[in-house]
Amino acid sequence: MAVFTTEQADLCKINRCDSFKTDGTHNYYVFSVEDDNGIVYEWKDSTLVAAADHSQVRVAIHDYLVTIEKLVPTPVKSVDSDPTIIGQTVGGGSPV
């Protein structure tokens, strides 16, 4: 498995940016992003200051993403049945 590349991190869409506070004092942010495969990543960031502007938030998110594993989407499984062979004998043709 591989971490996010810079390009993959840059394509993520920000879904959440919440500042959690105690008695009005900033404690941490919770961020959530969605990658190009529709997979959502959410985490707590205690390093960013409360007064961070959008540029600083984007840098913090990017810097985090390029250190974590980019998940692979779950494969979609399906079954294709051939009903035309049902009832035939292994040797060929329909049973007598």
Beta-bridge partners for 29: 19, 45
Asked whether the whole model's pTM tops 0.95, one would answer: no
Q: Give the mean model confidence (pLDDT) for residues 82-92.
A: 88
Helix (H, G, I), strand (E, B) or coil at 65: helix
Give yes or no for residue 96 having a pLDDT over 90: no
pLDDT band at residue 46 under the 50/70/90 scheme:
very high
Q: Encode pLDDT of 71-85 as tens digits.
A: 998 888 999 999 998
Indicate the residue type of 49: V
Q: How far is CA 14 from CA 42, 57, 93, in A?
A: 10, 10, 60
pLDDT score recorded for residue 1: 67
Give yes or no for residue 44 having a pLDDT over 90: yes
**Angle of CA points 55, 28, 18, to nearest 5°:** 65
Give the tokens for residue 13: 């869409």
Strands 40-45 and 25-34: antiparallel
